Amino acid sequence: MAEVNDRNCTLCRVMRGLAFGGLGAAIGGYGALLFGVDRQEAMFYALFGALALTAFMHRKKSEPPDA
């Protein structure tokens, strides 16, 4: 029987995506506000921050070769 990877189930990936999306949005949006951007444009920075952090955390990592 094949081994089950509990850390990579569908629900786990969705929850990680939501968590990192929220963190990226907070960093992007509030970071933009700290630099003096108005609130309407800060929403766009929050959106792109969420996309960037989620994509960065979900990138494929190369696995080390078996010894």
Written as six digits, the tokens of 31 are 């970071």
DSSP per position, 52-63: HHHHHHTSPPPP
- CA-CA distance, 67 to 46, in Å (whole number)? 43
Helices marked H in the chain: 10-34, 39-57
Q: With a cut of 80, say whether residue 56 has pLDDT above it.
A: yes
The model carries a pTM of 0.71
pLDDT at residue number 18: 87
When pLDDT is averaged across residues 47-62 and rounded to a whole number, the result is 83
Per the model's pLDDT, the better-predicted residue between 62 and 45 turns out to be 45
pLDDT at residue number 11: 84
pLDDT at residue number 2: 61
